[in-house]
Structure 1
Amino acid sequence: MQVLVIGEQALTIEQIVAVAQYRCHVALPATAEWRQLIQHGADFLDQLLEDEGVIYGVTTGYGDSCLVEIPTHQVHELPLHLSRFHGCGLGQNLDLITARAVVVTRLCSLARGYSGVSLALLERLVWMLNENIIPVIPSEGSVGASGDLTPLSYIAGALVGERDVYLQSQQKIVPIAEVYAEQKIEALVLRPKEGLALMNGTAVMTAIACLNYKKAEQISLSSTLVTAMNVLALEGNPSHFDEVLFAQKPHQGQQQIAAQLRHWLNSEVQTAHQSPRLQDRYSLRCAPHVIGVFEDSKVWLRQFIENELNSSNDNPLIDPINLRVLHGGHFYGGHIAQAMDSLKIMIANIADLMDRQLAQLVDHKMNHGLPRNLTGSSLERLPLNHGFKAVQIGVSAWTAEALKQTVAASIFSRSTECHNQDKVSMGTIAARDASRVILLTEQVMAALSCAAVQAIQLKGLNTQLGQVLTQFQQWVLESFTFVEEDRPLQQDLQHLVDRFEQFDLLNDHDQQLKRS
């Protein structure tokens, strides 16, 4: 495996995804400068403790309890108590890929050197990632400030030997104490401030945001491919994507989608045989305008996510250079909340676009010669067969649920923790909502991919597909078989959803599609 060095260089969304999918190992910098930076922060904290300085979360209680002084002889027990009383997470556990993304995201922040943690803690996080021994993290219980306290407590708890972990696969969950015993490894003893450094930050919401961003790219790409195939199957008008037309509205992402559709449809040839209809319905004609909103937003979405990823976002920060304790609110996940609230609206709109395209494909009154419900049955068997009728109902249900999930989570701030946390970001809930919208849209995309391939084959248009659309059709046909007689399509659809989740389309065809 390739090795990603974490600590000196800013990370990208793609690098987080690669680690999350266990496609690369991680390591800490070997430079003396970086190691001295880490050591200076830890030494400065030790000196403050010797001088009996007051440090929030180190010599005081947490949150509203910040005025409660911790006796010197109990200071070293405080991080353990922090991890324990936050062990109240509920809901579905984060899957292994997401949990790995959380661990590497937290490592990225702590390895910047402004959190006052020890080298030993960072090395233990590296060990977890490389050995694929990953804390089991409940998804619910964070309001997004003071960061993801409760879910991140499951990392702290695992480090000290008190929680469960995924052992090399999501199917096996064991207490980490058993792993430590088997491998003859001592549980970590958290130093003062290390419990707070691990837990008081935005790692969960940011990790989910990284994964969501890449899945959204997949949805944008696949929805454009499906649109191209549906324009062919529905005898649409490719001149709707004319270069001069789109030059008059200078949204670059929207123009990019139109350019892809022109190229993939070989518009110069198709226009000569275009439909007598002057204008297609909006779900075909305006596809670049819908998909293009996400494409044009990718710049600021990436900026928000990667800035948060490469930040020191716990409190207080420990300045290892000027030797200062800096109290602030960098645990607040407002940028991730905004990014995810916006992303889920963009993606739900794409689901709605696809839903409307499928409605055209299955309805014999508007599908320009395709059989009812895209059935592939013989004329004799036609009365019995209903093709994609139920699939269209399912797509309608998934789309409706996605649209329902688009209410912004960030506006539901709740005053918590004795009104100390009186304005919170809801960033983690926003990220989880976006994940749900993305999954529902992936289900819609799976159905539309099958329907578009079915329609192309019904019209006998295989020879009119260019290289890229042929590649996409072949990708779909690895999971889907032409529907002649009615059969359950659940497994076909689920297999495609699973492949969308793993970004197969991007991984397999990204370079070819980008060149196109």
Structure 2
Amino acid sequence: MPHVTLSGEGLTIAQTYAIAKHYDPVELDREAAMNMAASRRMVVRYLDEERTVYGVTTGFGRFSEVVIPADKRHTLQVNLLRSHSAGVGTPFSETVVRGMMALRANALAKGYSGVRPVVVEQLVNLLNKNVVPVIPSQGSVGASGDLAPLAHLALVLIGEGMATYQGQVLPGAKALERAGLTPLVLEAKEGLALINGTQAMGAMGVLAVHEATGLADWADAAAALSIDVLRGIPLAFHPAVARVRPHPGQALVQQHLRDLLHGSQLTTSPGQLRVQDAYSLRTTPQVHGAAREGLAHIADVVTAELNSATDNPLLFADEDMVISAGNFHGEPLALVLDYLGIVAAEWASISERRIERMVNPTLSGLPAFLTTHGGLHSGLMLAQYTAASLVSENKVWAHPSSVDSIPTSANQEDHVSMGTTSARKSLTIVGNLRYVLAIELLAGAQAADLIGPTLLAPATRKVYEWVRTMVPTLEDDRSPAADIEVVAAAMLSEPGQQVLNELGLGRGIIVS
């Protein structure tokens, strides 16, 4: 398997996801190591010259005016990690933590943080050996970086904290020993450099964006199957509609729906059954398209952040400048990850309305709750309840975190982003979206069985058949929970991606 080379430049969402989720190996770029060495020489020179430099020869935050004696600078870095490891709550998943390590290594590899290459090499070793720090998920305010989560991460590098290795949770020193690694001994500035950054919110943002990108196509596929079995009117998706409202996302979804519904024996013309469809069918391109455009913008911002130096202070070796600034502030991610939560909530919201139309006999013309033995059987009645519950829950999670700020560090850090909360919420909403789309696919497949799947369009029949490879037709009542779980998991699997490719989907969020 080829290595992902970390240089501080060009790292993509897909590469980060592969490192975090699929254990792709990583390595430090040689030129990046030289750039890091150059900024490190600045730190050494400033120490020799006894300059006052924040975090190098001074304390942190409110203590930035306190000069630290030369013989205490190593202790300063260790104390920083220990004191800032104040996280609480359920630990992040190993996937999130692996993403954090990859992103922190990439940020340091840019060469503006004044750390030795060995610091990044230690992060690389942890990734390649799969030593995963245990990091509580709560406690970051998203400015000065993700201080608490990154401090828990950094403790393991020096043989403290806790880590998971080969399925066991161990003290950091024991995990390193079993992996054949030696604890890192920090020098001046290096503890600060390890925790000043946006990598907790960034890692969650990567996972949420990557999964939402795949679900964007499944939303179109599920909608097409629903429109087909509900005998919708494809004229609403005519290219002329998008020409007079030229949003690229709308045009793309209209194209998807035209392609997916082509050849259906179920879809209708205006006036054949009804003059026009309900909004949840007719405005699918407008809603899905706007969500796609929003996701494209979010992905651009997240990608920029993956390749950013988010430390403080920053050291510019070519200009011999050290600058205390604010690249650690999570506002760019906080705003777009709040936006991502809204985008995913809207996909789920319109999906649930299509589910309701399928299970409601007054709206669908199909048997109530998609069972032929109503009364004795309840069919998919409660599956729609589950979708409604998740959509309602999303409305709570979609409330923005970025509008809030609570000053910290004795009012030195008097505006913070709360971006890590934005990231946690967006990841939750994307997970809920996956379940709602799975329920829509199950309802569409069940409706197709009641109508006759041979009447479907060739493409929507392929969607139906894919669902039926995993879940049999609902003849007698059974628990829908397992069915929902298996379809939800399959959507973002390799076979699921293959189905999207065969349908002409899976080409990205926006095709211009």
TM-score range, shorter chain: over 0.9
**Equivalent of residue 485 in structure 2, options 491, 494, 512:** 494
- The match for 1:319 is 316
Q: Quick one: distance in 2 between partners of 1:253 and 1:202?
A: 30
**Equivalent of residue 485 in structure 1, options 463, 476, 480:** 476
Write the mapping of 1:191-202 to structure 2, written as runs, cut at 5 A.
191-202=187-198
Answer with 335-344 or 18-27: which moved more.
Answer: 18-27
Q: Quick one: distance in 2 between partners of 1:415 and 1:9?
A: 33
User: 1:193-213 deviations in whole A, cap 9, x for unaligned?
Assistant: 111111010011111111111
Q: Quick one: distance in 2 between partners of 1:288 and 1:152?
A: 41
In the TM superposition, what is the alpha-carbon distance from 1:37 to its structure 2 partner?
1.4
Q: 1:230 and 1:411, CA in 2 relative to 1: closer, same or farther beyond 3 A?
A: same
Quick one: which amino acid aligns to residue 10 of structure 2? A
**Equivalent of residue 145 in structure 1, options 143, 146, 155:** 143
Q: Is the 8 A contact 1:106 1:203 kept in 2?
A: yes
- The match for 2:393 is 401
In the TM superposition, what is the alpha-carbon distance from 1:86 to its structure 2 partner?
1.4
Answer with 220-229 or 262-271: which moved more.
Answer: 262-271
Q: 1:291 and 1:183, CA in 2 relative to 1: closer, same or farther beyond 3 A?
A: closer
2:449 is aligned with 1:457:
yes
Quick one: which amino acid aligns to residue 345 of structure 1? I
Q: Is the 8 A contact 1:115 1:317 kept in 2?
A: yes
Quick one: which amino acid aligns to residue 395 of structure 1? A
Q: Quick one: distance in 1 between partners of 2:170 and 2:297?
A: 40
**Equivalent of residue 386 in structure 1, options 357, 378, 382:** 378
Q: 1:12 and 1:507, CA in 2 relative to 1: closer, same or farther beyond 3 A?
A: farther
In the TM superposition, what is the alpha-carbon distance from 1:449 to its structure 2 partner?
1.4
Q: Is the 8 A contact 1:218 1:503 kept in 2?
A: no
Q: Quick one: distance in 2 between partners of 1:316 and 1:352?
A: 44
2:352 is aligned with 1:360:
no
Q: Quick one: distance in 2 between partners of 1:189 and 1:411?
A: 39
Local SS of the residue matching 2:336: helix
In the TM superposition, what is the alpha-carbon distance from 1:265 to its structure 2 partner?
0.2
Q: Is the 8 A contact 2:88 2:139 kept in 1?
A: yes
Quick one: which amino acid aligns to residue 277 of structure 1? R
Q: 1:148 and 1:508, CA in 2 relative to 1: closer, same or farther beyond 3 A?
A: farther
In the TM superposition, what is the alpha-carbon distance from 1:513 to its structure 2 partner?
2.6
Q: 1:315 and 1:385, CA in 2 relative to 1: closer, same or farther beyond 3 A?
A: same
Q: Quick one: distance in 1 between partners of 2:416 and 2:269?
A: 57
2:294 is aligned with 1:303:
no
2:422 is aligned with 1:430:
yes
Instruction: Give ranges in structure 2 of 5+ residues lacking alignment.
Output: 508-512
In the TM superposition, what is the alpha-carbon distance from 1:503 to its structure 2 partner?
7.1
**Equivalent of residue 33 in structure 2, options 18, 32, 35:** 35
Q: Quick one: distance in 2 between partners of 1:309 and 1:515?
A: 23
Write the mapping of 1:334-353 to structure 2, written as runs, cut at 5 A.
334-353=331-350
In the TM superposition, what is the alpha-carbon distance from 1:186 to its structure 2 partner?
2.0
Q: Quick one: distance in 2 between partners of 1:80 and 1:515?
A: 47
2:251 is aligned with 1:255:
yes
Quick one: which amino acid aligns to residue 288 of structure 1? P
- TM score, norm. by length of structure 2: 0.94
Local SS of the residue matching 1:165: strand
Identical-pair percentage: 31
In the TM superposition, what is the alpha-carbon distance from 1:495 to its structure 2 partner?
2.3
Write the mapping of 1:39-118 to structure 2, written as runs, cut at 5 A.
39-118=37-116
- The match for 1:205 is 201
- The match for 2:510 is none
- The match for 1:442 is 434
Q: Quick one: distance in 2 between partners of 1:87 and 1:498?
A: 34
Answer with 172-181 or 238-247: which moved more.
Answer: 172-181
Q: Quick one: distance in 2 between partners of 1:511 and 1:267?
A: 16
**Equivalent of residue 130 in structure 1, options 124, 128, 132:** 128
User: 1:231-282 deviations in whole A, cap 9, x for unaligned?
Assistant: 1111111111111122211000111001000011006976676743110100
Quick one: which amino acid aligns to residue 409 of structure 2? E
Q: Is the 8 A contact 1:239 1:267 kept in 2?
A: no
In the TM superposition, what is the alpha-carbon distance from 1:183 to its structure 2 partner?
4.3
Local SS of the residue matching 1:113: coil
Q: Quick one: distance in 2 between partners of 1:42 and 1:57?
A: 14
Quick one: which amino acid aligns to residue 283 of structure 2? C
Q: 1:515 and 1:135, CA in 2 relative to 1: closer, same or farther beyond 3 A?
A: closer
Local SS of the residue matching 1:365: helix
Q: Is the 8 A contact 1:206 1:308 kept in 2?
A: yes
- The match for 1:167 is 165
In the TM superposition, what is the alpha-carbon distance from 1:78 to its structure 2 partner?
1.0
Q: 1:453 and 1:199, CA in 2 relative to 1: closer, same or farther beyond 3 A?
A: same
2:219 is aligned with 1:223:
yes
Q: Quick one: distance in 2 between partners of 1:106 and 1:298?
A: 24
Q: Is the 8 A contact 2:8 2:307 kept in 1?
A: no
In the TM superposition, what is the alpha-carbon distance from 1:350 to its structure 2 partner?
1.1
Quick one: which amino acid aligns to residue 220 of structure 1? A
**Equivalent of residue 178 in structure 1, options 174, 178, 181:** 174
Q: Quick one: distance in 1 between partners of 2:83 and 2:306?
A: 26
Q: Quick one: distance in 1 between partners of 2:411 and 2:437?
A: 44
- The match for 1:417 is 409
Answer with 315-324 or 335-344: which moved more.
Answer: 315-324
Q: Quick one: distance in 2 between partners of 1:497 and 1:136?
A: 27
Local SS of the residue matching 1:366: helix
User: 1:98-121 deviations in whole A, cap 9, x for unaligned?
Assistant: 111111111111101111111111
In the TM superposition, what is the alpha-carbon distance from 1:320 to its structure 2 partner?
2.4
Quick one: which amino acid aligns to residue 18 of structure 2? A
**Equivalent of residue 184 in structure 2, options 183, 188, 209:** 188
Local SS of the residue matching 2:440: helix
Q: 1:423 and 1:243, CA in 2 relative to 1: closer, same or farther beyond 3 A?
A: same
Q: 1:9 and 1:220, CA in 2 relative to 1: closer, same or farther beyond 3 A?
A: same
User: 1:333-357 deviations in whole A, cap 9, x for unaligned?
Assistant: 1110111111111111111101111
2:14 is aligned with 1:14:
yes
In the TM superposition, what is the alpha-carbon distance from 1:407 to its structure 2 partner?
1.2
2:285 is aligned with 1:293:
no
In the TM superposition, what is the alpha-carbon distance from 1:504 to its structure 2 partner?
5.7
Quick one: which amino acid aligns to residue 13 of structure 1? I
Local SS of the residue matching 2:364: coil
Q: Is the 8 A contact 2:9 2:110 kept in 1?
A: no
Q: Quick one: distance in 2 between partners of 1:242 and 1:408?
A: 36
Q: 1:164 and 1:148, CA in 2 relative to 1: closer, same or farther beyond 3 A?
A: same
User: 1:168-209 deviations in whole A, cap 9, x for unaligned?
Assistant: 4xx532222112233443210111111111101001111111
Quick one: which amino acid aligns to residue 458 of structure 1? L
Q: Is the 8 A contact 2:90 2:137 kept in 1?
A: yes
Q: Is the 8 A contact 1:37 1:321 kept in 2?
A: no
